[in-house]
Amino acid sequence: MTLRLFNTLTGQLDEIVPSDGKALRMYACGPTVYDYGHIGNFRTFLQVDVLRRYLKLTGMRMLHVMNITDVDDKIIRNASAAGVPIGDYTPRYVDAFFEDLDSLRVERPEQVARATEHIAQMVSLIQKLAEAGAAYKTDDGSWYFRLKAFPEYGKLSKKDLSGMEDGARVDVDEYEKDSARDFALWKAAKPGETAWDTPIGRGRPGWHIECSAMAMEYLGESFDLHAGGEDLMFPHHENEIAQSETVTHKPLARHWMHVRFLLVDGRKMSKSEGNFYTLRDLLLKGYKASAIRLALISVPYRHQLNFTFDGLTEATNAIDRLRTFHQRVTKGSFPAGSNPALQAAAGKARTEYMAALANDLNTAEARAPIFDLIRTANTAIDQGQFLAGDRDAILAVLADFDAVFDVLEDRDDEPTRRALAWAEQSGRMAEVAPELLARQSLTDEAIDALVAERTLAKRQRNFARADQIRNELAEKGIVLEDAKDGVRWKRK
């Protein structure tokens, strides 16, 4: 089913199809690596992940490029505060970023592009802009984009800047921009700052130019889809369009997708508000990576998501239900045959699921038929009407669900252990929730041993001892389930 996705440029739902008939060429703005990523960053990356996973599920191939901004003012500021060159400062955060993406099971783009490795392409683009009369150099050696050279400026964010002329501009000061709204393409080197010697002078790139240069390098002058957080719409994406289209006279991207910001406890997340969380903060509080993933993708990307700890608990419990059912179907043994009612229910669930996602990636709506199917199938199992031939039909629907949501398999231990190791190594153990330490204090083997002891005690009808073991485990966040075919346990 063809995805209909809201296009910021046209203001309507447009179909997503590869213009070359082969792979969807997509550019998504990546991180600026000056610190650890926060959950707001990851909501955007997760929603882009939902997009690409859904498209792949429909059989589309992807050519997805993501930039890494590894030179900018904040990086220079932080690196200089740390007393190291930026080349020594950023790798740690690049690594951390990819580690966090792994924790959240965000797929890697086909191509990752670092700003510092594409200086030549940026310089070349600035030269072309200069030839076109759209770029000019100021006396300090910086280059600016002349906004007047691009009359369509504002078409993405629907801003009409025509009324915002600078008024009486006194004679052009050679040290200043022609117009207040002109933006930097290239910043002249200041003493001690990282800089490149190039044909247009010694300096470093402005922020916007990297995306134009790298997008065109890997995707061509015009490509299918450009995505990013809503804040990037203006001025970043608007500037990208201006820089690129002034040179190519072609639309940079046909389709623009913007992910809305999240709120935390109903307010904008900010360090000064005290509601600022990195992924690592949450893992150290004991929340599972899968729950964070589900919480951040369950509200459709165009809606404001209010992030709360209650919401994470909700997601944790929802995942529990999904996984319990998945295990039940996978491991259970059922009578031969197949149940037409269940087959039909599976088919209906899959159709509704795919249709919901095709409708502007409505993840909230897409969950509903999956949970409906779970209830139907659970009822059938309880009544002995779930037959062996139904297993594959149900599992196939779950597989499609998981192709996008990716929370069914319990892979939560690794991110948590990684976060703990990081906390230890960076002296943050004080931030670790005691419950988490308790939960991680027992190895799988130790738990299995206790469970075996309890099973024996139960067989001997020594329920006091059996309950004692169960309570001990419960205190450490281990929950037991006595099923017909044995005991299951899980870390809460």
Q: Can you give the binding site for RNA, defined by CB under 7 A?
A: 29, 31-32, 40-41, 43-44, 74, 158, 183, 207, 228-232, 234-236, 259, 261-263, 266-269, 298-300, 303-306, 308, 310-311, 313-314, 317-318, 320-321, 324-325, 328, 359, 362, 364-365, 367-368, 371-372, 374-375, 378-379, 381-382, 458, 463, 466-467, 470, 479-483
In the complex, minimum distance from the CB of residue 385 to RNA, in angstroms, rounded to a whole number:
12
CB of 421 to RNA, least distance (A): 26
Decide whether 432 or 450 has the Cβ nearer to RNA. Answer: 450
- Beta carbon of residue 430, minimum distance to RNA (angstroms, whole number): 26
Closest to RNA by CB, 35 or 221? 35
Residue number, 280 or 470, with CB nearest to RNA: 470
Q: Tell me how far, at minimum, the Cβ of 327 lies from RNA, in Å.
A: 8
Which structure tokens are listed for 364? 């909230």
In the complex, the smallest distance separating the C-beta of residue 424 from RNA, rounded to whole angstroms, is 27
CB of 40 or CB of 203, closer to RNA: 40
Residue with Cβ nearer RNA (363 or 420)? 363
Residue closer to RNA, measured from CB, 44 or 222: 44
Q: Beta partners for 67?
A: 113
Residue with smaller CB distance to RNA, 127 or 306: 306
When the beta carbons of 160 and 171 are compared against RNA, the nearer one is 160
Min dist CB 481 to RNA, Å, is 4
Q: Output the smallest distance, CB 43 to RNA, in A.
A: 5
> Smallest gap, in angstroms, from Cβ of residue 301 to RNA?
9
In the complex, the smallest distance separating the C-beta of residue 22 from RNA, rounded to whole angstroms, is 28
Residue 329 CA, chain-centre distance (Å), reads: 30
For residue 449, give every residue at least 6 positions away whose Cβ sits within 8 Å of its Cβ, in sequence order, or none: none
Q: If DSSP states are collapsed to H, E and C, what string results for the chain? A: CCCEEEECCCCEEEECCCCCCCEEEEEECCCECCCCCEHHHHHHHHHHHHHHHHHHHCCCEEEEEEEEECCCHHHHHHHHHHCCCHHHHHHHHHHHHHHHHHHCCCCCCCEEEEHHHCHHHHHHHHHHHHHCCCEEECCCCCEEECHHHCCCCCCCCCCCCHHHCCCCCCCCCCCCCCCCCCEEEEEECCCCCCCEEECCEEEEECHHHHHHHHHHHHHCCCEEEEEEEHHHHHHHHHHHHHHHHHHHCCCCEEEEEEECCEEECCEECCHHHCCCCEHHHHHHCCCCHHHHHHHHHCCCCCCCEEECHHHHHHHHHHHHHHHHHHHHHHHCCCCCCCCHHHHHHHHHHHHHHHHHHHECCCHHHHHHHHHHHHHHHHHHHHCCCCCHHHHHHHHHHHHHHHHHHCCCCCCCHHHHHHHHHHHHHCCCHHHCCHHHHHHHCCCHHHHHHHHHHHHHHHHCCCHHHHHHHHHHHHHCCEEEEEECCEEEEEEC
Name which of 74 and 250 has its Cβ closer to RNA.
Answer: 74
CB of 484 to RNA, least distance (A): 9
